[in-house]
């Protein structure tokens, strides 16, 4: 048994609260165990300069951790007058993950901004952000569709993300902070509902890892993402009808 009593291949409890904020087209509070992230989707009727006149839209993301999200206060990026490297990497990952299931030609010349703000961090914040961002994005696209119906729906699939790692007890799924901070190997795996991989981020923290270990982690992550998406499907219900 793990620190929190879960089995090796067991997800933390998932809770998604939709319509969490008033002004965004899509907004959710996603909770995975004690990790909590607010994900919002805001629509702008314009695109970056490199897309003007192309008819294509854009989906991009920003990510931040609130100062009180960690056990010791985390300074805001504005205090350093620059975004830290970790936040830059994560928000690019979120954007890439969402664009993998978006038809930007169909979206039209508008930008959907995804903002992921971690209000409590206990491991897996980037993975929770991606899963929550997908729900917020879908709600935003559905809101646009109600106002100006799309001939072809711009979202082609679902996205979720989960962490896996190797601890003293072997491969484990959905690491909390205590597990992540001591893992010998950790990996973040982003997938779609077809079981296809969108992005893999794997690191040997304390030692290298073998192809056999990597395959075991990918198998575990595939199961985790399948379980996670099954819960998302249940939460969203008919709002996924044009995707599935």
Q: Point out the annotated binding site for phosphate.
A: 86, 124-126
Binding residues: 86, 124-126
Q: In what helix (H) or strand (E) does residue 201 lie, and over which residues does it extend?
A: strand 197-204
Nearest Cα residue to 119 out of 106, 110, 128: 128
- Using a 10 angstrom Cβ sphere, with 0-12 exposed, 13-18 middle and 19 or more buried, the burial of residue 207 is exposed
The Cα–Cα gap between 225 and 218 comes to: 10
The count of other CB atoms within 10 Å of the CB of residue 14 is: 17
The Cα–Cα gap between 126 and 198 comes to: 14
Q: In what helix (H) or strand (E) does residue 115 lie, and over which residues does it extend?
A: strand 111-120
Strand 111-120, strand 58-65: pairing: parallel
């Amino acid at each position: 048994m793990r620190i929190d009593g879960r089995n090796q291949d067991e997800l933390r409890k998932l809770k998604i609260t939709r319509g969490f904020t008033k002004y965004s087209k899509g907004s959710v509070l996603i909770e995975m165990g004690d990790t909590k992230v607010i994900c919002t989707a805001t629509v702008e009727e314009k695109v970056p300069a490199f897309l003007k006149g192309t008819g294509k839209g854009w989906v991009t993301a920003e990510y931040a951790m609130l100062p009180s999200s960690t056990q010791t206060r985390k300074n805001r990026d504005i205090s350093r007058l620059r975004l830290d490297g970790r936040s830059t990497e994560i928000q690019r990952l979120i954007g890439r993950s969402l664009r993998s299931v978006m038809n930007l030609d169909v979206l039209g010349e508008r930008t959907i901004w995804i903002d992921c703000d971690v209000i409590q961090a206990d491991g897996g914040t980037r993975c929770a952000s991606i899963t929550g961002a997908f729900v917020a994005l879908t709600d935003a696209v559905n809101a646009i569709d109600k106002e100006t119906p799309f001939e072809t729906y711009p979202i082609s699939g679902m996205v979720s993300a989960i962490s896996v790692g190797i601890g003293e007890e072997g491969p484990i799924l959905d690491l909390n902070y205590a597990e992540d901070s001591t893992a010998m190997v950790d990996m973040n795996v982003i997938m779609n509902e077809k079981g296809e991989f969108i992005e893999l981020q794997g690191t040997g923290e304390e030692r290298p890892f073998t192809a056999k270990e990597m395959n075991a982690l990918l198998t575990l992550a595939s199961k985790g993402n399948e379980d996670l998406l099954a819960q998302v499907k249940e939460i969203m219900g008919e709002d996924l009808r044009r995707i599935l």
